[in-house]
Structure 1
């Protein structure tokens, strides 16, 4: 079962976020264990190799603050999961921190807004743990995390249909049908952008004219008739 961490030295705040997350768990039928910590030191000491699905981390804490705690989680503990900062500040500059913090949630937001933000974060974190299984021509049966996939492209025709799975780690060739993958992955933010290519929309960095710029810096051409649909789906995937 997945685990969520809440780290905040303000106990009423811990109780507040705990209750919201329990409601989300019941409403979405997503079972998870909640663990709470009153300091960064306590969380770092308790952390083991079973990484939590999501960490809610207060910035302003006694002892080591949330920013230093996040840095140690990333560097010392090699935590690669989702991080969400909790703050009372109107604005926190995150660009220079390079800590992979997905969001910064202001504590004074209305409860329904907080609940929706946390619901989105939990769902996104769960999606990043999904694995896609396929048969590689070179390596046999393989599994890859969904968030590493960039594109699936058809390169073979006739009886021998070949697909190329492009990931953040390289490319693999598989035998199969693009239509089958399109049907199976449609609910996981994949979209056909041209006749021969499916793109994982979560890994699109920007739209540039009639092309998509992916997080690895490469571009994928869109059919003009698909551009509006793809753009709408990218915006929906980012919500």
Structure 2
């Protein structure tokens, strides 16, 4: 196997579709179990960014999916972007914050009305499709692959791009999208670009990350958030 081919990781691209009965959604309201509080940060309820169907993703990514094979993943974050990054010298390093929460809940729960003052993003149905995810261009491993065989590496690089030469707007697992990002010990779980109904200012991508040991066993409590700024 060519060095570059060994770097390709299976991922799921999430695409906005017209069908309201899609398995996944961007924004909207969450289904929360009775007795589960709406997630909050600093005492303020957070905004739901995405709802993902675990069964669909487990079927798409059987060799890499370590999270529950049933139920729903809910991705919340604080939309004022005031969460502080880790202090210098912290074990998990700089560049991200804890202004988020990822919950696993049973599938099919009725939507919970949002608390007063919470921004509700107009829901957009999403479809998931399997793609090959490759490292960003400045990743050391990718530089090695281009040095070994630049033609093969460039051809394989096209696997992760659409007809317009762009990577997926929204992606589950795989490599990070930001070519300048290095978060040692963390792996991306979900990367989202802004859609209509969101107002992120200079922030163009919100992503959720897990420590590598947590992702390996499907543990969600250590989720971190990274903000890509234009």
TM-score by length of 2: 0.28
Kindly indicate which of the two structures has a greater share of residues assigned to helix: 1
